[in-house]
């Protein structure tokens, strides 16, 4: 569908366009105008966020769009959309409303709300609202269930702002003593554009409560869509540890709950299974278990007569857990229930019988070196959660800087190929700004992973760090390898090592405080994806070092994924189960380096495989610029010469 450029550029808020940006805007307009599914590979630096908004607004103005829902993985990405929307509004004078939303817990004004996990918070929040005990919620609605005068005042303020961010709305509602989430819902219900997390698109109940709009009337943008397969599958997955079971057992004693010995039996079974896994596989290795094996042992231990009676017992314990949360909240204690969490996990274990679920057990070690067992339920087919949304929306855009194989995402997300439009934009930054090196003396290939080799990697890292005049990020295939190798790295640089649950803000703050700071992270972790390591518009890193190739770990779980993929995708199974997840993780880690046209830096891959068979899997611009050496002196000289006199 042709459209005059003047109809598009009136919404563009900047004096000039970046390379390929006009092509991207035209493509986005066509996707929304046609109601198709657009898949966009667009590298960092092209201005993807503002291009998406400009293309949609042009379609909206001509009546060729639905309402727009933009979803992202991280809060920092949401802030980018809020900033661009404000600029567009100021530049164009266009009369549209937008809401940038966050989750109920992060918006809550109750002092106790931030100290709970999300399930515990939701349980208590529901009970407070149902019992009429939340003063903030009650203040939003009048006796007829309509918006109160105070809520209307807040909504008018949001409408005057035009682009209402969650943080700003929370501040207004705090002053008016209103529930920010409920006011935000009222505002989002009528907003032309809503920006939020992936949950607002993928979870039907959340989406419906927020937008009050049927899916086929929505235009949806998934930003950073390379992470969508893992995220979508994760929504349908869960885990349980022996630590949680121990705490649940204490709850049973404290609150005198009759659980028929279920929690104790489950704790005993998991402890035995994880001990066997540790003896056979070591730490952090998943071993598959059968659904019925656990159920049969629990029936025998509890004396329940069959699966139906066991499930009834589990549902009763969920209710008991909810009651415990409520009692604790009334006592001014943290409104948590490990009993409820354990029972909810067990309920999911029993009810999910589909072939795209696998179950596993593994042995872990906490920060104090104590072993614990973990039981997991994993959905291995992302399309179950993603496909109905992507295909059911009026129009959908999947966008990322690392969609190197679009067919992979089409297949694993279950995208309707007949509706797909593709746009593949080449790199926009000068290739001479990036030096790509491979250290061929080492590898993290599992079969060759000996203690002396890991010490050699640490020794080489120590010497390489000496010639990098600036901040560095090192990414490893796993937490286990990161800890083992970093123990032997000798450097005077300040070091921040990634932890489970670490926030992006901590990494940015650390790098801002030190011009020689070293971040050690994990490929596919929090510090390798979605975090914009930028200061004053420039990238903060001078080098990214990727130790080993970040293939998914070999385990019975990964083999189960491969078997499922062989049944579904045939000859593409290995590519989809191993190769493309590795490539995406590599690209994301390396992508932390060059964040602006003025940046220059080094990417070093410490694995000989990257210079041999794996090299053919890399995109052409990577292959053209790659240099491989075994001699550490040559690697150091290349780095030193390239980075010499860089400010």
φ and ψ of 529, to 5 deg: -135, 135
- Sorting pLDDT into bands at 50, 70 and 90, what band is 647? very low
pLDDT at 235: 93
Q: How far apart are CA 70 and CA 604, in angstroms?
A: 34
Q: Are 476 and 528 in contact (CB under 8 A)?
A: no
Q: Name every residue whose Cβ is closer than 8 Å to that of residue 637 and which is 6 or more positions away in sequence.
A: none
- Model-level pTM? 0.90
Q: Are 117 and 336 in contact (CB under 8 A)?
A: yes
Q: Which of 34-38, 69-73, 132-136, 156-160 has the lowest average pLDDT?
A: 156-160
Of the candidates 106, 44, 117, the residue with the CA atom closest to the CA atom of residue 77: 44
Rounded (10°) CA dihedral 322, 324, 326, 332: -150
Cα–Cα distances in Å, from 78 out to 104, 165, 259, 417, 632?
16, 9, 44, 29, 42
pLDDT at 262 over 60: yes
Residues recorded for the chain: 647
Exposure string over 325-352, b if 16+ CB within 10 A, otherwise e: bbebbeeeeebbbbbbbbbbbbbbbbeb
For the ranges 196-210, 363-377, 493-507, the maximum mean pLDDT occurs at 196-210
Rounded (10°) CA dihedral 211, 216, 222, 228: 100
- Residue found by looking up tokens 């509004």 in the block: 89
pLDDT digits (tens, 9 = 90+) for 16-72: 998 899 999 999 999 999 999 999 999 877 889 999 999 999 999 888 899 999 999
| DSSP 3-state of 161 | helix
Cα–Cα distances in Å, from 185 out to 12, 177, 199, 517, 590?
29, 16, 15, 41, 38
* % pLDDT > 90, the chain: 63
φ and ψ of 234, to 5 deg: -65, -30
Q: How far apart are CA 27 and CA 25, in angstroms?
A: 5
Domains belonging to the chain, first-starting first, are: 5-234+383-424 (3.40.50.300), 238-379 (1.10.275.40), 431-643 (3.40.50.300)
- Sorting pLDDT into bands at 50, 70 and 90, what band is 272? very high
pLDDT at 4: 60
Relative to beta strand 420-424, strand 67-72 is: unpaired
Within 10 Å of residue 16's Cβ, how many Cβ atoms? 6
pLDDT at 529: 77
Alpha carbons within 13 A on the beta-carbon side of 391? 15
């Amino acid at each position: 569908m042709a459209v005059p450029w003047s109809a598009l550029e009136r919404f563009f808020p900047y004096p000039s366009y970046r390379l390929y940006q006009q092509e991207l805007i035209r493509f986005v307009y066509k996707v929304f105008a046609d109601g198709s599914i657009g898949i966009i590979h667009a590298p960092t630096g092209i201005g993807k966020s503002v291009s998406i908004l400009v293309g949609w607004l042009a379609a909206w103005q001509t009546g060729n769009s639905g309402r727009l829902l933009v979803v992202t993985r991280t809060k920092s990405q949401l802030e980018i959309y809020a900033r661009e929307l404000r600029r567009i509004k100021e530049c164009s004078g266009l009369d549209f409303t937008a809401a940038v939303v966050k989750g109920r817990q992060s918006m809550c004004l109750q002092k106790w709300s931030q100290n709970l996990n999300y399930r515990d918070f939701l349980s208590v929040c529901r009970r407070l609202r149902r019992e009429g005990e939340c003063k903030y919620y009650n203040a939003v609605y009048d006796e007829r269930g309509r918006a109160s005068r105070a809520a209307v005042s807040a909504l008018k303020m949001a409408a005057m702002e035009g682009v209402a961010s969650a943080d700003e709305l929370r501040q207004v509602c705090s002053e008016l003593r209103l529930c920010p989430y409920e006011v935000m819902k009222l505002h989002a219900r009528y907003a032309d554009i809503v920006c939020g997390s992936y949950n607002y698109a993928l979870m039907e109940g959340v989406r419906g409560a927020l937008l009050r709009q049927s899916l086929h009337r929505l235009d949806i943008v998934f930003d950073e869509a390379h992470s969508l397969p893992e995220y979508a599958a994760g929504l349908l997955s869960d885990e349980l540890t022996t630590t949680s079971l121990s705490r649940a057992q204490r709850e049973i004693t404290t609150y005198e709950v009759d659980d028929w010995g279920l929690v104790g039996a489950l704790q005993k079974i998991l402890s035995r299974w994880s001990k066997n896994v540790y003896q056979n596989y070591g730490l952090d290795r998943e071993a598959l278990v059968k659904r019925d094996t656990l159920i049969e042992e629990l029936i025998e231990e509890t004396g329940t007569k069959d699966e139906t009676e066991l499930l009834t017992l589990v549902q009763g314990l969920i209710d008991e857990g909810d009651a415990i949360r409520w009692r604790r909240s009334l006592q001014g204690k943290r409104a948590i229930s490990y009993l409820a969490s354990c029972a909810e996990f067990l309920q999911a274990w029993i009810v999910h019988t589909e072939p795209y679920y696998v179950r596993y057990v593994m042995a872990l070690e906490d920060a104090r070196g104590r072993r614990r067992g973990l039981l997991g339920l994993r959905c291995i087919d992302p399309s179950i959660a993603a496909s109905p949304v992507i295909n059911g929306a009026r129009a959908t855009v999947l966008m990322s800087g690392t969609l190197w194989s679009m067919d992979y995402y089409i297949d694993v997300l279950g995208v309707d190929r007949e509706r797909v439009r593709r746009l593949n934009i080449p790199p926009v930054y000068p290739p001479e700004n990036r030096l790509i090196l491979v250290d061929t003396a080492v590898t993290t290939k599992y079969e060759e992973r000996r203690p002396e080799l890991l010490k050699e990697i640490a020794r080489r890292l120590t010497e390489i760090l000496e010639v990098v005049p600036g901040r560095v990020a090192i990414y490893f295939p796993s937490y286990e390898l990161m800890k083992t190798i970093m123990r032997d790295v000798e450097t005077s640089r300040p070091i921040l090592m990634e932890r489970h649950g670490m926030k992006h803000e901590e990494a940015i703050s650390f790098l801002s405080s030190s011009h020689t700071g070293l971040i050690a992270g994990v490929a596919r972790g929090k510090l390798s994806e979605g975090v914009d390591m930028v200061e004053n518009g420039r990238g903060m890193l001078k080098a990214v070092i990727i130790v080993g190739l970040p293939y998914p770990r070999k385990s019975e779980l990964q083999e189960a994924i491969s078997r499922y993929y062989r049944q579904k995708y045939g000859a593409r199974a290995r590519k989809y189960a191993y190769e493309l997840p590795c490539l995406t993780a590599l690209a994301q880690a390396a992508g932390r380096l060059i964040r602006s046209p003025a940046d220059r830096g080094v990417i070093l891959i410490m694995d000989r495989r990257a210079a041999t068979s794996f090299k053919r899997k890399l995109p052409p611009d990577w292959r053209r610029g790659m240099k491989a050496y075994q001699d550490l002196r040559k690697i150091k000289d290349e780095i030193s010469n390239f980075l010499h006199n860089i400010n």
